[in-house]
Each structure stands twice: as C-alpha cells, then as structure tokens.
A and B are shown apart, each in its own frame.
Chain A
Amino acid sequence: MGSYLIRRLLIGIPVLIGVTLINFLIINLAPGSPADLYLTPTSTSADVVRVEAELGLDQPIFVQYFHWLVRLFHGDLGVSFQNRAPVTELLAERLGPTLLLMGTSLVVAYLIAVPIGILAARKKNSPTDYTVVGAAFLGISVPHFFLGLVLIYVFALELGWLPTGNMITLGRGGGFADRVNHLILPVAVLATATAANMTRYVRSSMIDAFGQDYIRTAKAKGLGLSTITNKHALRNALIPVVTVIGIDLSALIGGAIVTEQIFQWPGIGLLTIQSIGARDYSVLMGINLIAAVAVFGANLLTDIAYAVVDPRVAYA
C-alpha cells in the first residue's frame, strides 16, 4: 500500500509537468503576445524588439517555458490583457461563487443519487427501477443550456418564483434567502447530470454488491434487508461514487461554464466566457491550468481512495 502510494505520486510528477508544458504550448499557439500589453498603436518596431527582449520573448521556447514555470511557482500567472489585473487576483475573486455552485450541486446530487440508486437496486426490474433508470438517462442526455433555458422559462418567466440569474438581487439583495433563491436554478441544472450519472453508478454497484456472497451470507444469517443495505453493501457501493466525483470533475467544470453563462453567475465559468470573448488568453491559460491541476488532483485522490478501499488495486 505504502509503496503503491509512493509509486502513484511519482507517476504524477511527469504528468504534472506534461500538464504545464501543454498549457504553455497552447499559450504560445494563441494569437497575440504578452508584449502587446506594453505596446500602443504608435509603437515602432524598435519598441517591439525592446519590449520582447525585456519580457524574454526573444529566447528559445524552452527557456521561456522554464521562466514561465519559475513565475508559476511564485504564484504569478501573468496579467490580464483585458483589464490589466494580475490573473491570480481575478481568479481568486471568481473562485468563491464557482466553488459555492459546484459544491452545492455535488451535495445535492449526492443526496438525490444515493437513496434513489439504492431504491432502484433493491427493486430491480420493477416499475420503480425502470422509472429511475429512464429518468437517469434523461438526466445525462439533456444539455445544460437547454435545461437551464427551460427552467428559466418556467420558474422565472412564467411562474415568476425565482430570479433569472445573478448571485444576488442587485441593489437590495444579499440576504441569505435572496442568495438561496438565486442558487436554486443553477444548482438544479448543474446537479442534474451529476445526480443522473451517480444514480446509475450507485444502482449498478449496489446490484453487484447484493449479488455478492457476503451479502447472501448476511441474508442467510437473518439480517433484514435494510440492515444489509446500510451496513454491508453501502460501504462497497460508495467506491464507484468516489470515482464518479473524480471522473466527473472534468464534466462538472464543463457544466459550470455553460451554467454560469446562462445564469450570469459571476464565477470562473463566466470569466472563461468573457475572456474568450475578449481573447484574453493569459486569463484563459490561468483558468485552464488551475482547472487541470484540480482534475489531476481529483484523479490522483480517486486512485488512492480506490486503493484504500480495495487493496487489490495496489497490487494490480
């Protein structure tokens, strides 16, 4: 186990380097150069050369990559082209709303998926099960933006119960109830796909678990179905759920981008869209790098969690 952990972490090092390298290469692929920030339409070509030399842009690409890495380690992600603020500052400002949105969605998805998945597994091949499976399919198939539009149409425009977007009501908002009101629709959109996916995992792994010997033994010992569900099967069934969270972080981030755009939720996703509109690649690469490191970390944790729960993994 210990050596598996160390090996898994060591494997992560080249991967992390690869992530930064690709990120850096994409920046270089992007049109525009960091030098543009310091130049005006009246700058001469001599100015361009001077600024590029100052910024180290005349050096070989690997040297540039190395300097970029060093700056990265000092927490310097560059400067936004659009509003000249350090990228780290922009990110820090937007991170809170996104974490609130994604975190709430995950919790909601989890609270829906686990009981429903278990219910469907216990009533396998019953109308209840078919309904759950059908709904889960619908959930993974509906695009975030369409679901978002429908929800806004129904609950905000037609019924007028909830706001169409934003995090607080401008001007007079900001109270707890107001914030919750604004959170409901975006969370509903973001949680749907995750919950649907998770339900499918919980259901199928519970069905597997029910079929396993020790559960049959427990049944033979006269333990009631709910005791069995709670004690034995649940623990095992949660392994794939951990995996879903790991795998789905990537999908969740994708979903958050679209959801934040639809609801004008002032988080990282909206910043992404705005930066794309403004072709602000230094911000985009900062976001991308942070997100990639997060996904990388989630994958790592998933692997380790797997190995902890199922020691056979460590020896595979």
Chain B
Amino acid sequence: MTTTEPLLQVRNLKKYYPIRKGVIARTVGQVRAVDDVSFDVHPGETLGIVGESGCGKSTTGRAILRLETPTAGSVIFEGTDIATLSAGTMRRRRTDLQMVFQDPYSSLNPQIRIGDLLAEPLIAHHRLKRAAAQARAAEIIQVVGLPRLYLNRYPHELSGGQRQRVGIARALMLEPKLIVCDEPVSALDVSIQAQVLNLLKDLQGEFGLTYVFISHGLGAIKYISDRIVVMYLGKVMEVATTQEIFTAPRHPYTEILLDAYPEANPHLRDRPRIIVEGDVPSPAKPPAGCVFHTRCPSAQAICTTEIPRLSTDAHPVACHFPLLASKNGKVES
C-alpha cells in the first residue's frame, strides 16, 4: 500500500523469558512472549497491534523501544538496527522513539511537578536551562489541551485523562518520530477515551508522527489505525489495512476477534456466532504447529504439525487455510 521506505522494520523479533527453578535457579523452560514477529511501520501511519491479553503486544512494543532486550531478531529504525546499539548510543537515539503508557497513574513520578516532568527530557538531552525547558513545556502542555497553570501541579492533583495528556505531552517534548502507545486509553473512563484518541490523531497531523498503537479492544484500534497487526500467542496472525481486517479478514482468529466485538463490525452482526472453544494456551507451552489450532474452527491435521508461515502477498496471513472473504460469508481456499 505504501511505497515509501519503512520508518521501522521489525524482523523475526523474539523475546523469551526464562522460567527458573531449583537450587541454582536453572532454566527449566521459556515463556515465548514474542515469537518470530515481523512487520513494517511506514512514516506517518498508525499501525495497530491487537490481540488478547498476554499475546505479547506490550512485549513487542517494549522491545521496539528496547525497554526489553530482544532474545533474537532486529528492530531496524531508519536503517539502523537499534537492537544492537550500545547503551550510550541507544540512549541518545531515544529522542526519536517515545512511549505513552497504559496507566496514567503510575507513569508519572508522583514527586515531581508537571512542569519539571515535561522539562526534564530537554534538560537531560539538550542541556537546556530549566527556564528555557519550562517555557517549551508551557507550549506543549497547551498543545495537549491543558492550561499552563497545571505546570505547577503534582500528578495526583490531576484526573486520569489529564494525566494521560501529560504523558502524551512528555512523549512529545523530544520531538520523536515514532511513538509507541501501549493501550493509552484503556485505563481511562469511557467518556474520556474518545477525547484522548482524538488528541492523538490531531497531534499526528500536526507533528507528522508515526504511531504503533497497542490495544486489546477493536474499537480504539479501528478508530485510529491505518493498518493492523493481529497477534496470537506471541505470533503475528495477519497484517492488513484496517478496512481489509474489518471487511475481509483472512485468518480464522481475526474473524473470531471481530465476532466478539459486534459493535465494531456491524455488518457481521447477522451471521451465526462462532463459538470459541478452549482457553488461550500458555506461552510457556505453545501448541505444536499453528499456535491457534487448539481453538480454530477450521483446523485440519496439518495445522497440528506444521507452523504456517506469514504469506508474503499484499495481505499477509499465517494460516494453512486462510479465509476468502465475500459478502455472504466465508469460503475456504
């Protein structure tokens, strides 16, 4: 869809957490939080990552920002693999990549006034004087829709929505190119969620930002994303434009997800509901073959043995029997 060079290329990213046990804390297994994930993010777009709780969305986001060291794979940002940069080089590089956290209560240091929270990135990176940094903070805080007066307040004196605006403002201070938003609205009151999503959209236009937007709910994802990555148990199931995902999903899992959110997808409402059977398997013991086969309504013998690879066409999907969408329902290929 886009012809420009990607801003970010995630290639075969893996993050395994060791499970330790016993006297010498020997590794007895691994949690495959992220297992061989690849996707591109193009400049100016919003890439949504969606999936159930525990499927590795946050871990992916944190690995992109190198808040986690990947077990394997590369994170290529503007042509450099930042997964292998030295700590010092990475630290300076962080001006280009920022993060907005899920919980606006715990993501702001309770001891520091909003003004100093916002000024600090400039002081740390650009050696600005406090006054100059504060002046810039005063501009940005208005951009995110808060009065300057809040600069003198402590985080606990603000509401959740206001705090999240501060979180966003802080991410903007260094004028980053890419912002990873990890469920930035799910901790907020429903009435506030739309306001914050709109703010993010407006800022994207104003500052030419690129977003990786993580959410487990399809509503926010649909509203804000240009393209969507669907994850399940640490793996990418499907990548497509928002429209394709919602009108012509190719992976049975995506279809099930859509089914669970009829309000996000009104035209599917009349179809018979697909019953999802079984629980999500543990990422410490992922099923052999396709990780989704234990719950897949259209699983065949091959699904239990062979891992489906992400197809390389215009609408990548990792399924042995991808769906072919039509207005009437689905046909197996």
Contacts and interface: CB of A to CB of B under 8 A. Distances in A.
Interface string A1-34: 0010011001000000000000000000000000
Specify the main secondary structure of chain B where it touches its partner: loop
Contacts of B24: 7
Contacts of A10: 23
Nearest to B25: A7
B22 interface: yes
B279 to A, nearest CB: 24
Contact-size category for A: under 10
Nearest to A6: B23
Interface string B10-31: 0000000000011110000000
A160 B109 CA distance: 64
Contact-size category for B: under 10
Contacts of A7: 23-24
A7 B20 CA distance: 13
A3 to B, nearest CB: 5
Nearest to A8: B23
Interface string B132-157: 00000000000000000000000000
Specify the main secondary structure of chain A where it touches its partner: helix
B231 to A, nearest CB: 30
A6 B21 CA distance: 13
A7 B26 CA distance: 12
A166 to B, nearest CB: 51
A7 B23 CA distance: 5
Contacts of B23: 3, 6-7, 10
Contacts of B21: 3
Contacts of A6: 23
A4 B24 CA distance: 10
B19 to A, nearest CB: 13
Nearest to A9: B23
B28 to A, nearest CB: 12
Interface in B159-206: none
A87 to B, nearest CB: 36
A144 to B, nearest CB: 41
A10 B25 CA distance: 13
Interface string B260-287: 0000000000000000000000000000
Interface string A184-208: 0000000000000000000000000
A3 B28 CA distance: 14
Contacts of B22: 3
Nearest to A7: B23
A2 to B, nearest CB: 9
A3 B25 CA distance: 10
A3 B22 CA distance: 6
A220 B236 CA distance: 52
Q: Which of B21, B22, B23, B24 has the most CB of A within 10 A?
A: B23
B25 to A, nearest CB: 8
B293 to A, nearest CB: 33
Interface in B310-333: none
A6 B22 CA distance: 9
Contacts of A3: 21-23
A9 to B, nearest CB: 9
Interface string A24-47: 000000000000000000000000
A299 to B, nearest CB: 20
Interface string B95-109: 000000000000000
A10 B22 CA distance: 12
A6 B24 CA distance: 10
Interface string A89-112: 000000000000000000000000
A282 B333 CA distance: 89
B300 to A, nearest CB: 42
Interface of B: 21-24
7 contacts: A3-B21, A3-B22, A3-B23, A6-B23, A7-B23, A7-B24, A10-B23
In the A-B complex, the 7 residue pairs with the closest CB atoms: A6-B23, A3-B23, A7-B23, A3-B22, A10-B23, A3-B21, A7-B24
